[in-house]
Amino acid sequence: MTMQKPFAITLDPGSSLANKTGSWRTERPIYVDRLPPCNNQCPAGEDIQGWLFHAESGNYEAAWRHLTRDNPFPAIMGRVCYHSCESVCNRAHIDDAVGINSVERFLGDEALAKGWRFEWPHEETGRHVLVIGAGPSGMSAAYHLRRMGHAVTVMEAGPLMGGMMRFGIPKYRLPRDILDAEMQRIVDMGVTVRLGTKVADLAQTTKDGGYDATFLAVGAHIAKRAFIPAKDSARILDAVAVLRSMEGEDKPMLGRRVVVYGGGNTAIDVARTAKRLGATEAIIVYRRTREKMPAHDFEVEEALEEGVMVKWLSTIKQAGEGALTIEKMVLDEKGNPQPTGELETLEADSVILALGQDVDLGLLHGVTGLEVSDGVVRVDPATMMTGRAGLFAGGDMVPAERNVTVAIGHGKKAARHIDAWLRGTLLQPAPKHPVATFERINAWYYSDAPKTVRPQLDLARRTSSFDEVQGGLTEDNALFEARRCLSCGNCFECDNCYGVCPDNAVIKLGPGNRFDFNYDYCKGCGICVAECPCGAIDMIPEDA
């Protein structure tokens, strides 16, 4: 049965009765757009809701292309990103957060399987940008700069692309064929990568190459040390060197009893690596409690499942041949560890220090205008430019949280500001919409649909091989997961407002164009607001 519009009188626009609905309307509805909390949280600046919209319709290539407008590494990110976006997902108030990271991985793997490629720029600008470091930040910047039409040369000191993604993340988390494929796709756009090229003198390198701008993206490859009294026979290694050596033919000989000193994700990674290399005991010594541990909880849990042990509230006092002296600690009222004088002996064939990393800033010697403090380069947070015009920096080189997602976001942001600087303009970021909160969502429209759990490798194979631990979603599961998105704060054309309006005041503008209101009919009752599932309609005062 077709609904008919009610009879209406057409009034002359100049009439005093035109566009009037009567004295009863004090407010009127308007359509609004709000910023989804997942988008707002993403350090890489992805339009998560936007690419999920394509994915939930099964248009995976469109979803992948929408995603890679901001982040060129979905297959990598689907494996190593700590998906803070899911921690703020409004769906979690109903059942579970949308599995954003798992859908991202599915799209990344689908792109590799189908051979989807990035497009070359439509025109060349004639400008040439130098990027130093082929890690996540450097290759992200290279990708975005190349899309803008600039020539890009990346200089990398190491033998392969990937930076700390390769030399700091074990293969059981990030298979190297995935890493290589997503890196190569950027090279295939026309980006020049010079491997085994360490830049010792930045000023001379930029002068010799005639580069128009430079982006510094050197990773934190230097392990921090701690003074531990040790006998000559004590075997003390650093975590970065151990993980780096895993890329070679000769694997490190750690022994049967391995102690790891530290509490971050690198400590977890190297302890799990030790188990895979045959250690019967892999023990993490950490001076605070689990609640204070900087490592992500799910990684700690996986390590414990694999037999890694943790000595909480402990510190190493001395290292000798085959044994360590451990001192127990207590936390004071400020949460800082304090010694107790209570000692114990812990057997160990090797000790691995995982106390953080520093960046080698030697290449900056003689470069004027830079401010360097606490081992990092100060930049304008709005533009990522250092104190020297045309010299930008990001990733581990600048003050920020050190993880892959943040580094990728730095690369994108820097590329946009480098492009603006080369064109003689100043990039003005678009103002953000207000964040869409759960209170605006009409959750009763959505039935329970718990998050899809990704498969994991069985425990026996996890501890005896470097096979990938975390599996991916099937197409059916990925489609289901994408459809769990609530489209927070943005109209997805569900037709609810059109269907419930008692006055037929809602006008459909056609697929993709959403709706409008005919205020000649609207009485301002607010039913459309109450029935909008995603909170994309506001009531505003009539005189606003």
The pLDDT of 298-323, averaged and rounded, is: 93
The pLDDT of 444-465, averaged and rounded, is: 86
pLDDT at 7 over 60: no
Beta-bridge partner residues of 156: none
The pLDDT of 513-520, averaged and rounded, is: 94
83 inside domain: yes
Q: Please tell me whether the overall predicted TM-score, pTM, comes out greater than 0.85 for this model.
A: yes
Which residues, in sequence order, are CB contacts of 312 under 8 Å at separation 6+? 286, 288, 289, 290
pLDDT at 120 over 80: yes
**Number of residues assigned to the chain:** 544
pLDDT at 449 over 60: yes
Residue 96's pLDDT band, with cuts at 50, 70 and 90, is very high
Same domain? 244 vs 353: yes
- Picking from 130, 288, 108, the residue whose alpha carbon sits closest to that of residue 182 is 108
Residue 444's pLDDT band, with cuts at 50, 70 and 90, is confident
Same domain? 236 vs 330: yes
102 inside domain: yes
Residue 248's pLDDT band, with cuts at 50, 70 and 90, is confident
Same domain? 188 vs 211: yes
To the nearest whole percent, how much of the chain has pLDDT over 70? 95
113 inside domain: yes
- Picking from 80, 106, 223, the residue whose alpha carbon sits closest to that of residue 162 is 80
CATH code, 380? 3.50.50.60
Same domain? 544 vs 495: yes
pLDDT at 2 over 60: no
402 inside domain: yes
Half-sphere exposure of 442 (CA within 13 A, CB side): 16
436 inside domain: no
List pLDDT tens digits, range 195-209.
999 999 999 999 999
Same domain? 22 vs 45: no
Q: Is 183 helix (H, G, I), strand (E, B) or coil?
A: helix
Residue 447's pLDDT band, with cuts at 50, 70 and 90, is confident
> What radius of gyration do the chain's Cα atoms show?
28
CATH code, 461? 1.10.1060.10
22: left (phi over 0), alpha (psi -120 to 50) or beta: left
The residue out of 317, 334, 357 marking a domain boundary is 357
Half-sphere exposure of 492 (CA within 13 A, CB side): 18
pLDDT at 232: 66
pLDDT at 233: 62
pLDDT at 474 over 60: yes
pLDDT at 502 over 90: yes
230 inside domain: yes
431 inside domain: no
Residue 455's alpha-carbon distances to 300, 451, 478, 527, in angstroms, are 18, 13, 13, 43
pLDDT at 293: 94
The residue out of 393, 422, 451 marking a domain boundary is 422
CATH code, 528? 3.30.70.20
- Among 5-14, 115-124, 421-430, the minimum mean pLDDT is found in 5-14
Same domain? 373 vs 412: yes
Same domain? 25 vs 87: no
434 inside domain: no
Same domain? 250 vs 333: yes
The pLDDT of 316-337, averaged and rounded, is: 91
Residue 17's pLDDT band, with cuts at 50, 70 and 90, is very low
List pLDDT tens digits, range 81-93.
999 999 999 999 9
Q: How many distinct structural domains can be found in the chain?
A: 4
Same domain? 157 vs 274: no
pLDDT at 9: 34
β-sheet with 350-353: strand ranges across: 236-238, 350-353, 257-261, 281-285, 309-311
Same domain? 351 vs 455: no
pLDDT at 176 over 60: yes
Which residues, in sequence order, are CB contacts of 265 under 8 Å at separation 6+? 294, 295, 296, 299
Same domain? 353 vs 370: no
pLDDT at 416: 97
To the nearest whole percent, how much of the chain has pLDDT over 90? 83
Question: What is the residue range of 50's domain?
Answer: 41-117+443-480
The residue out of 308, 328, 357 marking a domain boundary is 357
The pLDDT of 55-59, averaged and rounded, is: 95
pLDDT at 167 over 50: yes
Same domain? 139 vs 258: no
Which residues, in sequence order, are CB contacts of 533 under 8 Å at separation 6+? 441, 442, 445, 446, 486, 487, 494, 496
